Amino acid sequence: MGRKFFGTDGIRGLTNSAPMTAETALKVGQAAGAHYLRGQHRHRVVIGKDTRLSGYMMESALVAGFCSVGMDVVLLGPMPTPAVAMLTRSMRADLGVMISASHNPFADNGIKLFGPDGYKLSDEDELAIEARLDGAPELARPELIGRAKRIEDARGRYVHFAKSTFPERLSLDGLKIVVDCAHGAAYHVAPDALWELGAEVVALGTSPNGLNINDGCGSTHPQLLQERVVSEGADIGLALDGDADRLIVVDETGKVVDGDQLMALIALDQARHGLLRGGGVVATVMSNLGLERKLESEGLRLERTKVGDRYVLEAMREKGCNIGGEQSGHIILTDHATTGDGLVAGLQVLAALVDQGRPASELLRQFEPVPQLLKNVRFAGGAPLEAAGVKTCIADAEAELNGKGRLVIRKSGTEPLIRVMAEGDDEAQVHSVVERICEAVARA
């Protein structure tokens, strides 16, 4: 059975357009709730959301769906995606739901589901839920309809958890940190956690109005953070996205540092302390060749997967690795969390900064990146990658890069985009290859 609703990271789309409608959310609540009604205990689902205007609508529809099939609902309010995963486990819930479109603009929204173990659902569970969406819901008898309640201490629980991942022997005293919360889900918890650990905190993106999430701020738009780090004379800047499951860092000079450098830093720091497991790091095909070379020089390996943090996590569990992630800043540290956690990853970076006593500009330059270029081509429909002209162009580019670089071309799982990436030691060649393929895709 093919996928109709679920992409690489749950269900996502433009709000009030299929599939991201209140009707779909109601059906997802009914289908997912019925799928996880296992055993005779009173069943529970935990629901969090980011700060999008449409979050209220989607939350209400999901609550109606879950309650209608007999599942109790615990509402967390605006909370990071990793907080929902953590609280799903700690509250012994049968299911966790995050309402968010991550780094997308406010007009989009999405539904991410977590199993009782706090991990994102398997392909099998997603397909089983999809199969239920087309059928009639299994509604509960009137006396078995679920109840809904909101808990007020969810933020405090997550802040306590995040702080527990920072070494007790260290503190952030004396550090000035700028944190950009993208007017998103971490607008309270991230500044609070950093302040409680002793940092002087300059907080950006902490005034959500339902429409400004990710708007010119956060991990996908770090320019404001770069400017403030320099103007404030800060030691470092941290940028989260709308649901706070990814992290981008800015050093004290205003230079942006991506997820590849952060994974290298955390992995090598863990290796020095004997804490790295699995003999290396798991990353996607998009990660820079320079990361692979750096790890190999330290006797470690880089395991590559297809794009999507769920696939990174699957490989981590299979290989026994405790560090993995994506160049975009999704960093998974399974010693602490079951999904990407921007705040927790940031705290590990800060721990290394304090422990080694080196400036961020030095510490965060773990390797020299190989020239790499990624471009997106938006398309309205069809299958441009199947066009003969595109296939020929790609084959020619692969032959040209053979032995000198890599080419990765894929359709986005969350947006109507074709992503074209090339890397190699010859920067001019890399640019030429990407431009030619993008032009061929645009023509198709």
328 is in an annotated binding site: no
Task: Verify that 133 and 199 share a domain, yes or no.
Answer: no
* Residue 192 marked in a binding site: no
Residue 359 belongs to some domain of the structure: no
Q: How confident is the model at residue 163 (pLDDT cuts 50, 70, 90)?
A: very high
- pLDDT for residue 412: 81
Domain count, the chain: 4
What does the H/E/C string look like for 72-87? Answer: EEEEEEECCHHHHHHH
Q: How far is CA 297 from the centre of its chain?
A: 28
Tell me the average pLDDT across 149-167: 97
Q: What is the mean pLDDT of residues 394-414?
A: 86
Task: Check pLDDT > 70 for residue 1.
Answer: no
Least confident of 1-15, 252-266, 313-327: 1-15
DSSP 3-state helix, strand, coil percentages of the chain (rounded to 5)? 40, 20, 40
Are residue 336 and residue 377 in the same domain, yes or no? no
Contacts of 352 (CB under 8 A, 6+ apart): 265, 266, 269, 363
Residue 426 lies in a domain: yes
> How many other C-beta atoms can be found within 10 angstroms of the C-beta atom of residue 435?
14
Co-location of 54 and 98 in the same domain: yes
Q: Does the residue 365 lie in any domain?
A: no
CA-CA distances (angstroms) from residue 238 to 85, 282, 308?
A: 22, 23, 22
pTM, to two decimals: 0.90
DSSP H/E element including 377: strand 372-378
What's the pLDDT at 2?
55
pLDDT per residue as tens digits for the range 45-59: 999 999 999 999 999
Can you read off the two tokens belonging to residue 337? 């969390």
Active site residues: 102
Which whole number is the average pLDDT over 368-383? 88
Q: Span 250-269, mean pLDDT?
A: 97
Residue that terminates a domain, selected from 136, 152, 168: 152
- Tell me, yes or no, whether 293 and 414 share the same domain: no
Domain end: 218, 240, 255, which one?
255
Domain boundary (110, 136, 152) is at 152
Q: To the nearest whole number, what is the mean pLDDT of the chain?
A: 94
pLDDT of residue 7: 79
Range of the domain at 34: 11-152
- Our measurement of the distance from residue 119's CA atom to the centroid of its chain's CA atoms, rounded to an integer in Å, reads 13
CB 310 within 8 A of CB 9: yes
pLDDT band of residue 161 (cuts 50, 70, 90) is very high
Contact (Cβ atoms closer than 8 angstroms) between residue 71 and residue 33: yes
Tell me, what's the pLDDT at 310?
86
Residue 122 clears pLDDT 90, i.e. is over it: no
**Statement: residue 415 has pLDDT above 60:** yes
pLDDT over 90 at 9, yes or no? no
> Do 112 and 184 share a domain, yes or no?
no
Mean local confidence (pLDDT), 174-195: 98
Tell me what pLDDT residue 174 has: 96
Give the pLDDT of residue 405.
Answer: 86
* Mean predicted confidence (pLDDT) in 286-296: 94
CATH code at 127?
3.40.120.10
Among candidate residues 350, 342, 348, 345, the one with its CA nearest the CA of residue 176? 350
Evaluate whether residue 347 is within a structural domain: no
Do 130 and 229 belong to one domain?
no
Q: Which helix (H) or strand (E) holds 192?
A: helix 189-196
**Sign, CA torsion 411/239/81/135:** negative
Q: Sorting pLDDT into bands at 50, 70 and 90, what band is 383? A: confident
Q: Which of 1, 6, 57, 2 is nearest to 32 (CA)?
A: 6
In a shared domain, residues 120 and 194: no
Please indicate, yes or no, whether residues 147 and 164 belong to a single structural domain of this protein. no
Q: Is 102 annotated as a binding residue?
A: yes
72 annotated as ligand-binding = no
Residues 69 and 161 in one domain: no
Q: Which domain CATH number covers 378? A: 3.30.310.50
Query: Does residue 353 lie within any of the structural domains?
Result: no
Section 285-308 average pLDDT: 94
Residues 263 and 382 in one domain: no
Q: Are residues 133 and 20 part of one domain?
A: yes
pLDDT band, very low/low/confident/very high, at 252 (cuts 50, 70, 90):
very high
In a shared domain, residues 19 and 82: yes
For residue 392, give the 3-state DSSP assignment: helix
Q: Is residue 277 part of a domain?
A: yes
Is 439 a domain residue?
yes
In a domain, 363, yes or no: no
Per-residue pLDDT tens for 204-228?
999 999 999 999 999 999 999 999 9
Closest CA to 427 of 370, 386, 342, 374: 370
